[in-house]
Amino acid sequence: GLSNGFYCTDNKNYLWCHGTTEGTPGKCLGETVCKCGRTQYNPCVWSFLDLPDCEKKPGDFFEKLPDSSDTKPDSSESKHESSDTKPDSSEIKPDSSEIKPDSSEIKPDSSEIKPDSSEIKPDSSEIKPDSSDCKLDSSEIKPDSSDCKPDSSEVKPDSSEVKPDSSESKHESSEVKPDSSESKHESSEPEVSVPKKTVAYYTNWAQYRFNSIDGWTCKYTTDNIDPTIVDVINYAFVVFDSTYTVKEYEWNDDQMIPKIVAMKSRNPNLKVLASIGGWNFNFYDSTKHLYSQMAEKQATRATFIKSAMNFARKYNLDGIDIDWEYPANEDQGGRPVDTQSFTLLLKEFREAIDKEVGNGKSKLLLTIAAPAGPWNIKNIEISKFYKYLDWINLMTYDLHGSWDSVTGPHTALYATDGISVDDAVTAYLNAGVPSAKIMLGMAHYGRGWTLKSSSDHEMGSNATGASKSGTCTGENGYLSKYEIDALIPQENIKFDSKSKTMYGYKNDQWFSFDTQETFKYKADYLCKKKLGGVMFWSLDLDKNYVNTKYIKSLIEEC
* pLDDT for the residue 194: 76
Tell me which of 3.20.20.80, 3.30.450.20, 3.20.190.10, 3.30.420.40 is the CATH number of domain 82-165+196-558: 3.20.20.80
Catalytic residue ranges: 325
- Those residues of the chain that have pLDDT short of 50 are 1-188
Identify residue 475 by its one-letter amino acid code: E
* pLDDT for the residue 191: 56
* pLDDT for the residue 149: 38
As a whole number of angstroms, the distance between CA 472 and CA 480 comes to 8
| CA distances to 26, 157, 159, 208, 526 from 13, in Å | 20, 9, 9, 29, 39
* pLDDT for the residue 370: 99
Nearest to 144 by CA among 232, 246, 239, 222: 239
DSSP 105: B
* pLDDT for the residue 201: 99
Per-residue pLDDT of 444-488, as tens digits, reads: 999 999 999 999 999 999 999 999 999 999 999 999 999 999 999
DSSP output for 413-457: SS-SSS-SHHHHHHHHHHTT--GGGEEEEEESEEEEEEES-TT--
- Cβ-Cβ contacts under 8 Å for 145 (sequence gap 6 or more): 84, 85, 86, 87, 88, 101, 102, 103, 104, 107, 108, 109, 113, 114, 115, 116, 117, 118, 121, 122, 123, 124, 127, 128, 129, 131, 132, 133, 134, 135, 151, 201, 369, 395, 397, 398, 441, 443, 445, 536, 537, 538
* pLDDT for the residue 478: 98
Structural domain boundaries of the chain? 5-64, 82-165+196-558
What number of other Cβ atoms are within 10 A of residue 188's Cβ?
10
CA 435, chain centre distance (Å): 22
* pLDDT for the residue 192: 56
- Between strands 319-323 and 365-370, the pairing is parallel
Q: How far does the chain reach from its first CA to its final CA, in angstroms?
A: 51
